[in-house]
A and B are shown apart, each in its own frame.
Chain A
Amino acid sequence: GAGVSQSPSNKVTEKGKDVELRCDPISGHTALYWYRQSLGQGLEFLIYFQGNSAPDKSGLPSDRFSAERTGGSVSTLTIQRTQQEDSAVYLCASSHVSGGSYEQYFGPGTRLTVT
């Protein structure tokens, strides 16, 4: 079946512009996660959604970052006034509970480059 999809696959933007990244989880998965992967910081957890709600937004790097999920499906991660340190690969994952496992399935990622 279809896996997690993300768009765009690559995004180059100028410093100061806003960007919107999209994630479409596996159908039926209620949990959705955003991570960021960069050379300097490795893999960082950003935010988690259960259904449409995000219980804890403290993992977002700054108040320029926001995320929403509508209809319990598609999620968007928005970065306002992008900075060069925002350059990274943004990964989305989804999961459902199965036998006590919250195994996460990752999408292909969006590579963001801020110039």
Chain B
Amino acid sequence: ELKVEQNPLFLSMQEGKNYTIYCNYSTTSDRLYWYRQDPGKSLESLFVLLSNGAVKQEGRLMASLDTKARLSTLHITAAVHDLSATYFCAVDSGGSGGGADGLTFGKGTHLIIQP
């Protein structure tokens, strides 16, 4: 059974600081996704990471994937209040059917950025 663990689950930080959210998963996978969820809203896709060593950046967020370590990180640079949200990583167990098992999500990291 695929397990996905995120840490920390809760993070309060000040604007301007840097921090990293970690996502570990238990079985081989080449597809990892990061989503953002605002309170009362649905999931917004942030990054799709498809291979070992993949790195993607959008604004103050950067995501990376190490498939050998089964680890992905989401790094926040010079945080601003608008980045306050819950961030989920999700793993696609893959297989020839592609997507047939759905995504397995971590529990989410509730991020609060204070002015």
Smallest distance from the beta carbon of A103 to chain B beta carbons, Å? 5
In whole angstroms, what is the CA distance A56 to B93 when docked?
A: 14
In whole angstroms, what is the CA distance A59 to B88 when docked?
A: 20
Cβ B100 vs Cβ A48 within 8 A: yes
Residue of B nearest to A89 (CB): B42
Number of A-B contacts (CB under 8 A): 65
A residues contacting the other copy or chain, number (CB 8 A): 28
B76 CB within 8 Å of chain A: no
Cβ A55 vs Cβ B45 within 8 A: no
A1 CB within 8 Å of chain B: no
Tell which of A31, A47, A59, A99 touches B99, judged by Cβ atoms closer than 8 Å: A31
In whole angstroms, what is the CA distance A41 to B43 when docked?
A: 16
Chain A residues with CB under 8 Å of chain B are 31, 33, 35, 42-43, 45-48, 50, 55-56, 59, 91, 93, 95, 97, 99-109
Question: Can you list 12 residue pairs at the A/B interface with Cβ under 8 Å?
Answer: A42-B108, A48-B99, A48-B102, A50-B97, A55-B97, A55-B100, A97-B98, A102-B92, A103-B45, A103-B48, A106-B35, A106-B42
